Structure 1
Amino acid sequence: MAKFTDLNEFFNDGLALPVGGKVYHVPPASAEVGLFCQKLMAAGISAANGQEIDAADLDDDGEKDLYRRVLGDVYDELIADGVSWAKIKHCGVTAFLWIATDEDTAAKHWRADPEAEAPKAKARAGRSTR
């Protein structure tokens, strides 16, 4: 019969995000936050595939709430340290991807150049719906 090693001996369920020379330690997500993120990710994938979804729009307040939920106390710490909103958003999306998918996906986003993504978003925003 196989004997399992205690999960806490090898499983790291936190996320360390270095910003401006300081490392912020994002705590593991609760089951509630984890399930919320997976549901949100599934809705996003469905929407990207042209399927109708039954999800509330993510407005500015919802976006702030999402980042607060996925970053935990790190959200307030980033604000107290004067980190820019753009960097807080980058941390928040990274934590969201880590919770909803995996560490590799989050790391890929972390290394992405946010400025390179901006023209794509501006082009989408500038499209006419007429």
Structure 2
Amino acid sequence: MAPYRELTEFYDPDLLLPIGGVVYRVKCPTIGEADRLRRLIVDDSVTSDQELEEIIKILGPVRDEMAANGVRDTMALHAGRTALLHFGGTPSLGRANWQLGQLGDLLDMQSILDAAGVNTSPEAAAD
């Protein structure tokens, strides 16, 4: 049997977020960092300040690019939350946040995670 095609020839692991006519590329984290993000997004003890630190970290240099382009703070925060959910949860969670983020205060996120089949138990996060 022939080997599979080289994955890097056709698969882009990064997250592309269009804002104001510019497409921003958020780099896919390493395996270890993605594992940490999986635990983070289900941690109820994360504070607003900690969330901001994580957003700044996940966006990296893209945040500076956004600032230089005049992207509003709330839009950059929305992009960062989307990236955290995309890489720490699933691409579907990231997409839902991107498109429906304004509904976040009205939704029960635990129900959404359950419906998506994401196991949020502490034991699952440790695996």
Same fold by TM (over 0.5)? yes
Offset at 1:87?
A: 0.6
Offset at 1:104?
A: 2.0
Query: Which one-letter code corresponds to 1:108 in the other structure?
Result: A
Whole-Å separation in 2 of the counterparts to 1:86 and 1:59:
14
Partner of 2:47: 58
Partner of 1:69: 57
Offset at 1:111?
A: 0.7
Offset at 1:39?
A: 1.2
Misfit runs of 4+, over 4 Å:
none
Which 5+ residue runs of structure 2 have no aligned equivalent? 108-127
Offset at 1:113?
A: 4.8
Query: Which one-letter code corresponds to 2:75 in the other structure?
Result: K
Query: Which one-letter code corresponds to 1:77 in the other structure?
Result: E
Whole-Å separation in 1 of the counterparts to 2:52 and 2:41:
17
- Give the TM-score taking structure 2 as reference length: 0.71
Any idea what the Cα deviations from partners look like across 1:59-104, whole Å, max 9, x if unmatched? 42x2221012211211111122221111111101110011012222
C-alpha RMSD over aligned residues? 2.2
Task: Check whether the contact 2:78–2:98 (CA below 8 A) recurs between aligned residues.
Answer: yes
Partner of 1:35: 35
**Identity fraction in percent:** 28
Partner of 1:23: 23
* Structure having the higher Rg: 1
Whole-Å separation in 2 of the counterparts to 1:4 and 1:67:
35
1:1-130 equivalences under 5 Å are 1=1, 3-44=3-44, 57-60=46-49, 62-114=50-102, 116-118=103-105, 120=106
Offset at 1:2?
A: 5.7
Which 5+ residue runs of structure 1 have no aligned equivalent? 45-55, 122-130
Offset at 1:7?
A: 1.5
SS of alignment partner, residue 18 of structure 2: strand
Offset at 1:112?
A: 0.8
Query: Which one-letter code corresponds to 1:38 in the other structure?
Result: R
- Give the TM-score taking structure 1 as reference length: 0.70
Task: Check whether the contact 2:40–2:46 (CA below 8 A) recurs between aligned residues.
Answer: no
Whole-Å separation in 1 of the counterparts to 2:66 and 2:93:
22
